[in-house]
């Protein structure tokens, strides 16, 4: 006598493959993307994360105590000085500092809140001799950009294409001067930042009197801060705060529209494309870092 239908169903269920939930699928996909030789660009649906992150939370972040102790070699391996080795510095009673490997040149361009890396990827071939860094606070989004750049480098062997761009998980509202020396950067991009509409949330906006002083610190005289948003109120906020800062002056509209980076900023960022699809308005403003006054 054969097994009952109930027992047969239980046996079939036990032998059936276990269905993976969405979280496991995401983890497996990302793990596969980390393997060597992957040549297919990552898919965003496996890296989705909340659009907003609280910059005042204690995120588990790694940052150097001083820019000179930042190791850029893993981010830009093609630009490491040959023969440069990580060497222990003078030991102290507290810890042993490490002198990181040297690069042939400094990072000069920062994209603050780089999102899924559209601007980075577009700038790479346009600024082939410049090191560009994306800074992003969200874990999954940062990993997407890392995997995207890794695949693009793999697709262009024997060249330096996309070797000049990289991404770093960081909270720029807290730690920007930990990564960059005074007057190190020539360009800072602030593209479609979180508008934080509620008045009590305005302190979380990425443009403020205090933060503009930090941008002035890391930007060299003549350097440019680029801003773009589709929110009129936020645009006015950014313009007011930059124009009120003594270290900045607004770039004329004629000079702004002649800057090739403005077109890229408008058209190549993910948010820019979204606004374009929805036939929305984009508000752009550029600000030049002035020379420091003579004491």
Q: Which residues are annotated as a binding site for S-adenosyl-L-methionine?
A: 113, 136-137, 171-172, 191, 269-271
Q: What positions carry a catalytic annotation?
A: 194
Query: Residues comprising the binding site?
Result: 113, 136-137, 171-172, 191, 269-271
Euclidean distance between CA atoms 232 and 214, whole angstroms: 24
| Both tokens assigned to 69 | 């102790």
Euclidean distance between CA atoms 86 and 193, whole angstroms: 36
Instruction: Compute and round to an integer the Cα radius of gyration of the chain.
Output: 23
Inter-residue contact 61 to 170 (CB < 8 Å): yes
Beta bridge partners of 187: 109, 224
The residue behind tokens 């403005």 is: 262
| Ramachandran category for residue 29: left, alpha or beta (phi over 0 → left; psi -120 to 50 → alpha) | alpha
> Pairing state of beta strands 219-229 and 185-191?
parallel
Closest CA to 212 of 238, 250, 175: 238
DSSP string, 68-101: GG---TTT-GGGBPTT---EEEEE-SS-EEEEPP
Contacts 24+ apart (CB under 8 A), 192-196: 192/115, 192/228, 192/229, 192/230, 192/269, 192/271, 192/272, 192/275, 193/112, 193/113, 193/229, 193/234, 194/51, 194/52, 194/113, 195/229, 195/231, 195/233, 195/234
Backbone angles phi and psi of 286, in degrees to 5: -115, 145
The residue behind tokens 């408008």 is: 266
């Amino acid at each position: 006598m054969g097994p009952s239908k109930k027992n047969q169903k239980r046996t079939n269920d036990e032998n059936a493959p276990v269905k993976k939930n969405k979280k496991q699928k995401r983890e497996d996909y990302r793990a596969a993307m980390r393997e060597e030789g992957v040549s297919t660009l990552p898919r965003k649906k496996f890296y989705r994360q909340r659009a907003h992150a609280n910059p005042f939370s204690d995120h588990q972040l790694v940052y150097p105590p001083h820019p000179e102790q930042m190791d850029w070699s893993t981010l830009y391996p093609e630009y490491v000085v040959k023969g440069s080795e990580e060497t222990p510095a003078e030991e102290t009673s507290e810890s042993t500092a490490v002198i990181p490997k040297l690069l042939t040149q400094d990072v000069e361009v920062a994209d603050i809140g780089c999102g899924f890396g559209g601007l980075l990827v577009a700038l790479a071939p346009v600024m082939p001799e410049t090191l560009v860094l994306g800074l992003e606070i969200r874990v999954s989004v940062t990993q997407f950009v890392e995997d995207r750049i890794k695949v693009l480098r793999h697709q262009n062997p024997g060249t330096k294409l996309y070797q000049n761009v990289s991404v770093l998980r960081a909270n720029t509202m807290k730690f920007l001067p930990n990564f960059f020396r005074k007057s190190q950067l020539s360009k800072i991009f602030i593209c479609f930042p979180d508008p934080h509409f509620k008045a009590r949330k305005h302190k979380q906006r990425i443009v403020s009197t205090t933060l503009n002083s930090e941008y002035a610190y890391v930007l060299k005289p003549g350097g440019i801060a680029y801003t773009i948003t589709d929110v009129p109120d936020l645009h006015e906020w950014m313009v007011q705060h930059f124009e009120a800062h003594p270290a900045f002056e607004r770039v004329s509209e004629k000079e702004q529209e002649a800057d090739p980076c403005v077109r890229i900023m408008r058209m190549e960022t993910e948010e820019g494309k979204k606004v374009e699809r929805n036939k929305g308005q984009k508000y752009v403003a550029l600000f030049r870092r002035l020379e420091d006054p003579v004491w």
